[in-house]
């Protein structure tokens, strides 16, 4: 009887060992599947990280370029502000149109005409100080003519040297009509 009992015990131990082996094998397969999934996810994350890193580097480059452009634009803006302030402070030359014929011309000239003895005239006694000063320093007339010499001649005909006028420098017109 002992021999039969030992055989049953041995069979039971064998069945239990087989059952444990089978459970371990199933558990191993489950773990292998989980491991494969994890490795796949890890590879996917690494790819995404690599892609994102590349995009971040691209964004960093773009931001750096944008910051450089902003610095340049601020510098240009400061230069323009300084230039505008200079132009605001600079005395403006007032142009007087010589006559109607000027407006029909193809070329325009700025001609300086002065009268140093203007403060002694009757007109100067009733005129504002700025007006008198402009004649002494030279007033600028917009004259239409084919050449600088022709513009000077037209002004000299209008403002005679015998009455104290002096025709000064003649330069091409620098205003809006010159650009038209």
pLDDT tens, position by position, 107-141: 889 999 999 888 888 788 888 888 888 899 998 98
Instruction: Say if residue 1's pLDDT is above 60.
Output: no
The whole-angstrom separation of Cα 160 and Cα 73 is 52
Residue with tokens 């239409």: 144
The whole-angstrom separation of Cα 159 and Cα 114 is 9
pLDDT tens, position by position, 65-96: 999 999 999 999 999 988 888 777 766 666 66
pLDDT tens, position by position, 151-165: 999 999 999 888 889
DSSP 8-state code for residue 142: E
Tell me the mean pLDDT in the region 37-55.
89
DSSP H stretches of helix in the chain: 2-89, 122-126, 129-137, 148-158, 176-179
């Amino acid at each position: 009887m002992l021999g039969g009992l030992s055989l049953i015990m041995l069979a039971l131990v064998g069945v239990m060992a087989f059952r444990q082996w089978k459970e371990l094998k199933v558990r191993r397969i489950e773990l292998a599947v989980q491991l494969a999934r994890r490795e796949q996810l890890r590879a996917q994350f690494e790819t995404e990280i690599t892609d994102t890193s590349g995009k971040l580097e691209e964004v960093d480059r773009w931001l750096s370029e944008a910051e450089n452009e902003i610095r340049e634009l601020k510098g240009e803006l400061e230069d323009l502000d300084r230039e505008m302030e200079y132009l605001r402070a600079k005395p403006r030359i007032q142009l007087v149109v010589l006559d109607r014929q000027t407006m029909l011309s193809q070329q325009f000239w700025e001609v300086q005409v002065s009268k140093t003895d203007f403060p002694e005239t009757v007109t100067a006694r009733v005129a504002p100080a700025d007006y008198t000063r402009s004649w002494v320093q030279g007033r600028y007339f917009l004259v239409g003519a084919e050449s600088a010499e022709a513009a000077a001649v037209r002004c000299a005909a209008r403002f005679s040297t015998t009455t104290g006028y002096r025709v000064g420098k003649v330069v091409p017109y620098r205003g809006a009509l010159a650009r038209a």
